[in-house]
Every structure is written in structure tokens, then in C-alpha cells.
Amino acid sequence: MNKQSIPVQKNQQYEVVFEDLTHEGAAVAKINGYTLFVPKALPGERGIVKVIKVNKGYGFGRLMERIETSEHRAEPPCPVYQQCGGCQLQHLNYDAQLLQKQKMVKDVLERIGKITKIPIHPTLGMNDPWRYRNKAQVPVATREGGLVAGFYQERTHHIIDMDECLIQQEANDRVVQVVKDIANQLQISGYDEKAHKGTLRHVVARYGLVTKEVMVVLVTRTAELPHKEQLIKQIKERLPEVKSIVHNINRKKTNVIFGDQTTVLWGEEYIYDFIGDIKFAISARSFYQVNPEQTKVLYNKALEYAELTSSDIVIDAYCGIGTISLFLAQKAKHVYGVEIVPQAIDDAKRNAKLNHINNVDFAVGEAEKVIPWWYAQGIRADVIVVDPPRKGCDQALLNTIIQMKPKRVVYVSCNPATLARDLRVLEDGGYQTKQVQPVDMFPHTMHVESVAVLELKK
């Protein structure tokens, strides 16, 4: 489509009907074949949109007025929902969110993976889809009138100052507000991202859903934490549930939250939590699922799909801190876990010890290199479980799985597009996808996790 044939103009208004949602939560409208993406609208609605950006093949619009409203529209309970970029779907009722996520997985598997005629089950959601996140990482800045702390406005680095976040555990909200209040009293400055000045960059709060233990992490630009003793004393007094206060130093001009240096200011190095019967030690920097309630649902489904017997050998690629490995070890003969992050493997070994689970081995390295080495040592996996990052599995790992020929592959995915791509590779290599189960780990956002199971064709 050349510039002359684009049927819309910037700043003009048009009446449209919305057809679908993108994986980022924007509604899709067509004007004479030209696609317009519009946040906060819903499929089936009719409205007036203002065009705010025009590209060659698609544009972006803003919803100015709704003429017809979807029966699935909900009133967002969050007071800063319109500004904040944390959630994308509070304006869609929860049952419809679950349907939308199932549809998204199905559409992507068909379009990218050419995978049809298999059950894509209804999304497993939460009974209460609020207050589920056990970790808050909140940026802090100084404005006129003192410190502000909250999440970024959508597509900006402008902090929306907030008192609470409705998808956070209330314990985390309390930590952020109390630390902001104490730091304000002690006149500790917030971070200025542009000038790379100021002290307090982030307040990170971690909460054990079962144990109720709380960790506070103060991330600063400076090695020195002003009024340190006073800060610790007041946090302990005002937040008696806190078990650990940690200081992390990040001197770099970056939007990565943590720096390399971490010290415990007071209390324990770890807090603890449970997923099912398994206990986990969580440090300031540990990767730990942010919705443990739904993690249990996800892992139980992975365990069910693995169909393990007491004689099965399992390989867990991308094992992280051993979360899935330790679940699998309850049913398998032996589990081998591999992960590229050394600290995660240290955590995995610690968690195995913590739970007296002895039929697991963990190795640091790239799965696509370690697994062939295991194979050369005579280790033969009956089942391989993969839980890769958003970019999906490395091609070399997929090739290794195809060569190893385990009877079953369980694929835990946080990105339907890379899941579809990888399932196609495995299907072309002799596997058949049997079923896929979407799980809602992050209500009110567009993210969806899935568990797929493949079996080796006879």
C-alpha cells in the first residue's frame, strides 16, 4: 500500500467496527482494508476513532466515543487503569478474557504451526483473578512534593504514582507505600533516569503466599544508602512481617532493575514459599513464578501430560530454580535439569536439598549442548520437558530431542507464537501434538501460558 492509497489521515476521525484483539490487547478495525489498532476497545463494538499514527500497512487510533458497547465490557476497578501500562484487559470481563486467550492460542497454532484438529482446552483461570502477584518491582522518582512510586504509563517511562495495584498482593503494596513514606521523611532522593542522578531507583517486594514472609529490596544508584540504620529500624517497626531487608547497587545507566552487587542489610538471605508440597528458598534475585497459585495448576497439568511411571528418566530443559524438576521427581525414577544461569542452578540444588529430593541432578549450561553430552554418556530420556523463555526453544535443542526420540515431550510455553513454531518442527521430526491446555497465569493482561504434549509417532 503506497502513501497515496492509504485510506485514512492522521488526526481525522472515523466510525469503525472492531473485529478482534491483538496479542498486545488492542482492538483491530479495518477501514477500506487498512488495519487500525485501537487500545481499550473490544471486538463487536462500534465507535469513533481518531487516527494518531499512520504507517504503510497499518495505523494506530484512539477511541473517542463508543456507539455500540460489547456485552463483555467490564468497568475497570483500578483508578489508574487508563494511564498505567501494567494491565491491558481490565475492561473485558474475566470469562471473556479466558475465552480470548483460548482463541489466541488456537488461532496462532493454526496460522503459524499449521496445527489443527487437536483439542485446545478452555483456559484454566482463577476463582479470584485479583491480588495474585507475589513480587512488585516499583520504580521511584522525585517530583515536586516528594517521592513518587508506581508503574510506568503505557509506552513511556513516566511513573504513575499509585497507592495500590489491584493485581499485587496487598503485602507488597504496603511495603512500597511504607518505604516511600520513610524515604520521604529521611529525604532520600528518587532516581532521575535522564540525568542519571538520585539515590533510590526501585523498591522490590517479595511475598511468600503460603508462609506470609516478606522481603524488601532497596535498589540504589549509589553504593551508600543514606540514613541506613534509621531506614532499617523504621521498616522493621512498621512492617513486622518483614523477614529480610536487602540492598542492591545498580550504578549503570540502564533500565535493567538489578545491579551486580547485593548485600543483606538485616534478617535472612532467603524467604520461603510452597508450590503444592514443595518448599522453595527465594533470594532477592531468584527467579520464582509470580503467581504460585496458578503455577501449581500449570505444573500439575505438565505432570499429568508427562504420564510418568516410577521407571521413567526425565530431562527438564530450561529448569530454572528446579520448579518443574522437583514436581516431576515426585513421580519419576530420575530427573536431569539443565539451565544456563549459574545462580538458578545453585537455587535448584538448594531447593532439592530443602525438600530431601535425591533423584535429581542439575547442570549449568546451554540445553542444546548439555543434553547431547548426557546422551553420549548413555542417559536416555523417556520424557523431555521444556519450559523455554519467550523466544522459544533453540533449534539445536529441537534437533537433539528429535534424535533422542523420547516417547513424550511436554512443552510449557509463555508465548503461543514460538510454541506454534516449535511444535511444527517437532511434528516434522516425527512427533504428534496430542492436546494443548492454556493456563491464565496473569489475569487482566494479554499473557497466556500453555502446556502441550507430543508423542512419538509409532
- Count each helix (H run) and each strand (E run) in the chain, helices first: 9, 20
Question: Mean pLDDT over residues 207-212, rounded?
Answer: 97
Give tens-digit pLDDT for 324-354: 999 999 999 999 999 999 999 999 999 999 9
Chain CA centroid to CA 442, Å: 7
Q: Name the least confident of 14-18, 142-146, 407-411.
A: 142-146
Domains 3-68 and 99-127+291-456 share a fold: no
Q: Sorting pLDDT into bands at 50, 70 and 90, what band is 205?
A: very high
The Cα 118–Cα 123 span in angstroms is 15
Q: What's phi and psi for 175, nearest 5 deg?
A: -60, -50
- The fold of the 135-275 domain, in CATH, is OB fold (Dihydrolipoamide Acetyltransferase, E2P) (2.40.50)
First to last CA, the chain: 48
Phi, psi of 155 (to 5 degrees): 60, 25
Q: Tell me the pLDDT tens digit for each residue of 270-308.
A: 999 999 999 999 999 999 999 999 999 999 999 999 999
User: Residues with catalytic annotation?
Assistant: 414
Residue in 16, 12, 14 with CA at minimum distance from that of residue 46: 16
* Percent of the chain clearing pLDDT 90 (strictly above): 93
Alpha helices in 198-280 (DSSP H): 228-238
Mean pLDDT for the chain?
Answer: 95
- As given in the structure block, the three cell numbers for residue 227 are 540514613
Q: Given a cut of 70, is residue 402 above it in pLDDT?
A: yes
The most confident of 50-59, 79-88, 153-162, by mean pLDDT: 50-59
Q: What Å distances lie between residue 385 and 104, 341, 346, 392, CA to CA? A: 23, 18, 20, 13
2 has a pLDDT exceeding 80: no
At residue 98, the pLDDT reads 98
**With contact defined as beta carbons under 8 Å apart, do 445 and 89 qualify?**
yes
Domain residue ranges of the chain, discontinuous segments joined by +: 3-68, 99-127+291-456, 135-275
Topology (CATH) of 99-127+291-456: Rossmann fold (3.40.50)
Confidence of residue 155 (pLDDT cuts 50, 70, 90): confident
Q: Which residue has the cell 542519571?
A: 196
- 3-68 is classed CATH 3.40.50.10190: no
